[in-house]
């Protein structure tokens, strides 16, 4: 009997994780839209230099991803009572993901000679998986 309960619990956990992964993907796509949209808006309508616009886009995209994660993506939160610390760690993980993306681009383009667009796709997939797994382990 305990074996059936354990099996049932494992299936529920796997189902929950798959659901969170799909919701995280959708949330990430939406957050990327906020990032790129605010980047473009800041450049073309506010006259902000692209470097500052990129920072603004990253911050707004990160806030969107955080809010989506706590209200929709993940069902549990390890730091619910420490929201400032939770957001700070969420942002730090995102910055680490950004650095991983940049490193992957540098290696792929400069050392391996791959096409930038192909390298960017690979770097985006790697970064997405990194962010999901690390955030799931540490925060959710």
CB 55 within 8 A of CB 35: no
Note whether residue 5 is domain-resident. no
In a domain, 3, yes or no: no
The predicted structure's pLDDT at residue 1: 52
Domain that includes residue 57, residue range:
17-138
CB contact set of 135 (below 8 Å; sequence gap of 6+) = 69, 90, 93
Question: Is 65 a domain residue?
Answer: yes
C-alpha distances (whole Å) from 129 to each of 31, 85, 123 are 15, 22, 10
Cβ–Cβ < 8 Å for 23, 75? no
Of 19-23, 54-58, 72-76, 131-135, the least confident:
54-58
**Each residue's pLDDT tens digit, 97-121:** 999 999 999 999 999 999 988 998 8
When divided into structural domains, the chain yields a total of 1
Handedness of CA 95, 100, 101, 105 (dihedral sign): positive
Q: What are 57-83's pLDDT values in tens digits?
A: 989 999 999 999 999 999 999 999 999
> pLDDT tens digits, residue range 44-59?
999 998 888 888 998 9
Tell me if 122 is assigned to some domain: yes
Cβ neighbours for 109, distance < 8 A, ≥ 6 positions apart: 116, 119
* Residue 10 is assigned to a structural domain of this protein: no
- Give the SS3 label for residue 75: coil
Name the pLDDT band for 2 (thresholds 50, 70, 90).
Answer: low
pLDDT at 54: 87
70: its two tokens? 């706590």
* Residue that wins the pLDDT comparison between 126 and 51: 126
pLDDT at 31 over 80: yes
Evaluate whether residue 96 is within a structural domain.
yes
């Amino acid at each position: 009997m305990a074996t059936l309960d354990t099996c049932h619990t494992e299936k529920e956990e796997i189902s929950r994780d798959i659901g969170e992964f799909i919701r995280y993907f959708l949330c990430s796509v939406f957050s990327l839209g906020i990032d790129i949209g605010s980047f473009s808006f800041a450049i073309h309508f506010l006259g902000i230099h692209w470097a500052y616009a990129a920072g603004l886009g990253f911050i707004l995209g990160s806030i969107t991803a955080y809010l989506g994660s706590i209200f929709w993506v993940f069902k549990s939160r390890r730091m619910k009572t420490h929201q400032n610390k939770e957001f700070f760690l969420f942002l730090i993980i995102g910055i680490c993901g950004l650095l991983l993306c940049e490193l992957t681009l540098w290696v792929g383009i400069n050392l391996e000679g791959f096409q930038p667009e192909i390298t960017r796709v690979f770097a985006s997939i790697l970064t997405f998986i990194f962010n999901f797994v690390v955030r799931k382990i540490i925060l959710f």
